[in-house]
Chains A and B, each alone.
Chain A
Amino acid sequence: MEPRPRIGVYICHCGTNVAATVDVEAVTEFAATLPGVVVARHYTYMCSEPGQALIREDARALGLNRVVVASCSPRMHEPTFRAASQEGGVNPYQFEMANIREQCSWVHHDRHEATEKAKALVYAAVMKAIRLEPLEEREAPVTPAALVIGGGVAGMMAALDIAEAGFPVYLVEKSDHLGGRVAELNRTFPDLEPVSEWLPALVDQVQRHPNITVYLNSRVTNITGFVGNFEATVEGAKEPLKVGAIVIATGYDVFDPRRKPEFGYGIYPQVVTTLELEHRLAAGDLTVNGKTPKDVVFIKCVGSRDQQLGRPYCSRVCCMISAKQAQLVRQALPDARVTVFYMDVRTFGKRGEEFYDEARRAGVRYRRGNVSEIYRRGDRVVVRVEDTLLGRTIEHEADLVVLAVGMEPRPEAADIAALLKLPRSADGFFLEAHPKLRPVDTAVDGVFLAGCCQSPKDIPDTIAQAKAAAASALIPLMRGVVPMEAATAIVDPELCAGCGMCVEICPYGAPGLDPLWGVSRVNAVLCKGCGACAVTCPSKAIRLQHFTPDQILAQVEALVGW
């Protein structure tokens, strides 16, 4: 028989994040009156070391066997407090969290209402904690290899770091070469360094690395498994590739300016994209219809910061690309007038502002204005612009117009998202697990993001993220084991009638009928803990541990009751 619950409840101020809206003292006093609670405290930062020490020391001194922390979302600090509970001798599964920050203090402003709601949430957490059973965490071995999807700079960098740490890497690239979008560039900002000075060497290093297997003209068609034990079906690989971690580096697409027909892209040869100009600069040929341009115009934010097109975000690199290309055009055509029409100039990043200054000093004219249309006049085009500083419309004749096209998610991102059940943000880029604290993690353990598949960024940021993704992917690989879901479904053989409905409903084939006893048994290794079987079972013989009906009904009662 389990000992009586002895619960410690800890209310976190989170600095002022909780305490400014919720009366933490009142909640603590309330918590102390709840059944099973032997100690209730509040503290500035429960996640800090002294905060965790409170839990550990109370647990030891008072013989706690349950811990409740009311603070941020369990998605944030549940692992922290589980560990602290465990260090105090409490089973980590007899820990429960009340989310009084994300789901209370941050979304409500009335102090009284927020405090009452926080009490209800703490009450429910205590009611659940009373009913929590100790569970045992087991570990599964990790396949010591990684899959990197995408062979641009992000994918190559991530692959190299993982390979250098001593693990085999499978690098899958859908085109026939490595290098991605950067291979299409000529020189990069803010130093005008030719890409040819470093990219071929990087590609070569990847191709020669003994730990890296490159699959070109290849796609990932299926992925099964979970962190530590994924199996990926890859075109060109004879067998499914077994890996412990996955880095997604599928890059971006450029906005197709045909979606802004008023710019005449695809109709007038004078109108090109920044990417096309990149090719022309590399080839040293800027002529249009055989003539050297005398007037060159850049238009920024084409397909970015555009609500009507559903592209409300800034693509981050177009300002710098325009500044770079405008300088290169000035160098190539010293007699030409070069004008940049902009909404805003954004020059964040190392040496960004200086580089923009250099462009202006080199004679590039910046003019604030919204371009409304482009049309032909003779063998030139006219750019019609509303000058937003002077408040009047101007017509600017040009021989070459460069559209600084934004980045957008690749259409294939949808396929990868579907394979791995990865969430994407509203703009279609992959969603990181936390905007600040987990920028390369995803909702799926063992799957990491690098580069522009997560959001638009420049090359240094891409590489920084790729190296971060590699370092994160190395954690399970180097540790060699991953914790396995402890909150799995279990069957009470006394109650099971052997109807097999759980076997039918489970997407993972975890329950199976024992031929000898005629009852169902759950294979804990296969069970992911979704709980579908428990709801289906007509005799309520299966339950999902840690989310059992008595626990949930107790939460309901508390939430409705307070």
Chain B
Amino acid sequence: MSDNGFEPKIVAFLCNWCTYTGADLAGTSRIQYPPNVRIIRLMCSGSVDPTYVLKALLDGADGVLIGGCHPGDCHYQSGNYKARRRIIALKEILKQAGLDEDRVWLRWISASEGQRFADTVTQMVQYLKEKGPNPMKREWAV
């Protein structure tokens, strides 16, 4: 564990019906997790525009978490599949551009998986601490 006082900042885009509700459940169950994550509520993971993710990374977020319903469970039938395709494409583009695609996590977390949400955040914070601060902001501030 390389803990040099670096506290990563994570922006999370969560779908209203599953992962946002799961995050609420973590709250009602009082499951503790690191405060590094800040959540934006969207109706569906299928409405996460890759530009939102890019914007967060370029603004200096150390990680971006996209949370949606499990495959087959999207409230709007197939939004999560759309999200999956887009995020794969986005990660490919980040990689091609020599940027760090592993700072973007897409996870399926249901309304009943409060623990899983907390665990995901905890893992992601740990992972980003080891990785260190996001260099993208600096690189792009030409």
In whole angstroms, how far apart are the Cα atoms of A110 and B40 in the complex?
Answer: 22
Interface flag for B101 (CB, 8 Å)? no
Most buried by B among A102, A113, A418, A555: A102
Interface flag for A124 (CB, 8 Å)? yes
Q: Are B52 and A553 in contact (CB under 8 A)?
A: yes
Chain A hits for B51, CB < 8 A: 549, 553
Give which listed residue, A116, A529, A536, A557, contacts B43 with CB less than 8 A.
A529
A-B contact count (CB 8 A): 146
Q: Are A75 and B40 in contact (CB under 8 A)?
A: no
Q: Are A552 and B40 in contact (CB under 8 A)?
A: yes
Interface flag for A302 (CB, 8 Å)? no
Q: Are B55 and A556 in contact (CB under 8 A)?
A: yes
Q: A102-B24, A106-B28, A107-B33 are in contact. Are A556 and B112 (CB under 8 A)?
A: no
Chain B hits for A529, CB < 8 A: 43
Q: Are B9 and A560 in contact (CB under 8 A)?
A: yes
Chain A hits for B26, CB < 8 A: 102, 107
Chain B hits for A559, CB < 8 A: 9, 11, 38, 40, 56, 61
Q: Are B35 and A423 in contact (CB under 8 A)?
A: no
Give which listed residue, B23, B35, B72, contacts A113 with CB less than 8 A.
B35
Binds B, one of A144-152, A377-385, A424-432: A424-432
Interface flag for B60 (CB, 8 Å)? yes
In whole angstroms, how far apart are the Cα atoms of A89 and B74 in the complex?
Answer: 36
In whole angstroms, how far apart are the Cα atoms of A267 and B44 in the complex?
Answer: 51
Interface flag for A234 (CB, 8 Å)? no
Q: Are A418 and B9 in contact (CB under 8 A)?
A: no
Q: Are B56 and A124 in contact (CB under 8 A)?
A: no
In angstroms, how far is the closest chain B Cβ from the Cβ of A484? 15
In angstroms, how far is the closest chain A Cβ from the Cβ of B120? 13
In whole angstroms, how far apart are the Cα atoms of A418 and B21 in the complex?
Answer: 18
In angstroms, how far is the closest chain A Cβ from the Cβ of B136? 12
Map CB proximity to A onto B63-99 as digits: 1 under 8 Å, 0 otherwise: 0000000001111111100100010000000000000
Q: A544-B47, A556-B56 are in contact. Are A107 and B30 (CB under 8 A)?
A: yes
Interface flag for B125 (CB, 8 Å)? no
Q: Are B56 and A560 in contact (CB under 8 A)?
A: yes
Q: A117-B35, A435-B28 are in contact. Are A507 and B49 (CB under 8 A)?
A: no
The secondary structure that dominates the A interface is helix
Q: Are B44 and A431 in contact (CB under 8 A)?
A: no
Q: Are B39 and A561 in contact (CB under 8 A)?
A: no
Q: Are B112 and A431 in contact (CB under 8 A)?
A: yes
Q: Are B38 and A124 in contact (CB under 8 A)?
A: yes
Q: A102-B27, A106-B30 are in contact. Are A505 and B40 (CB under 8 A)?
A: no
Interface flag for B111 (CB, 8 Å)? yes
Interface flag for B17 (CB, 8 Å)? yes
In whole angstroms, how far apart are the Cα atoms of A529 and B79 in the complex?
Answer: 11
When C-beta atoms are compared, the residue in chain A nearest to B72 turns out to be A418
Map CB proximity to B onto A112-142 as digits: 1 under 8 Å, 0 otherwise: 0110110011001000000000000000000
Q: Are A547 and B42 in contact (CB under 8 A)?
A: yes
When C-beta atoms are compared, the residue in chain B nearest to A425 turns out to be B112
Q: Are B23 and A532 in contact (CB under 8 A)?
A: no
Q: A75-B24, A421-B75 are in contact. Are A443 and B17 (CB under 8 A)?
A: yes
In whole angstroms, how far apart are the Cα atoms of A110 and B60 in the complex?
Answer: 24
Q: Are A552 and B42 in contact (CB under 8 A)?
A: yes
When C-beta atoms are compared, the residue in chain B nearest to A555 turns out to be B40
Interface flag for B130 (CB, 8 Å)? no
In angstroms, how far is the closest chain B Cβ from the Cβ of A310? 14
Interface flag for A240 (CB, 8 Å)? no
Give which listed residue, B27, B31, B50, B78, contacts A73 with CB less than 8 A.
B27
In angstroms, how far is the closest chain A Cβ from the Cβ of B114? 9
Interface flag for A108 (CB, 8 Å)? yes
When C-beta atoms are compared, the residue in chain B nearest to A117 turns out to be B35
In whole angstroms, how far apart are the Cα atoms of A106 and B23 in the complex?
Answer: 11
Give which listed residue, B33, B52, B75, contacts A530 with CB less than 8 A.
B75
Q: A423-B18, A530-B76 are in contact. Are A535 and B9 (CB under 8 A)?
A: no
Most buried by A among B16, B34, B35, B61: B35
Q: Are B32 and A530 in contact (CB under 8 A)?
A: no
Interface residues of A in 66-106 (CB under 8 A from B): 73-75, 99, 101-104, 106
In whole angstroms, how far apart are the Cα atoms of A536 and B46 in the complex?
Answer: 10
Chain B hits for A114, CB < 8 A: 35
A-B contacts, 15 of them at CB < 8 A, read A73-B24, A74-B41, A99-B39, A124-B38, A529-B43, A531-B43, A531-B47, A532-B44, A535-B48, A535-B49, A547-B43, A552-B42, A552-B49, A553-B51, A559-B9
Q: A102-B24, A103-B39, A535-B82 are in contact. List 15 more A-B contacts (CB 8 A).
A: A103-B24, A103-B27, A107-B31, A107-B32, A113-B35, A117-B35, A421-B77, A423-B21, A531-B44, A534-B47, A534-B49, A552-B42, A555-B40, A556-B56, A559-B38
- Shortest 6 CB-CB contacts between residues of A and residues of B: A531-B47, A102-B27, A530-B76, A106-B27, A559-B38, A560-B59
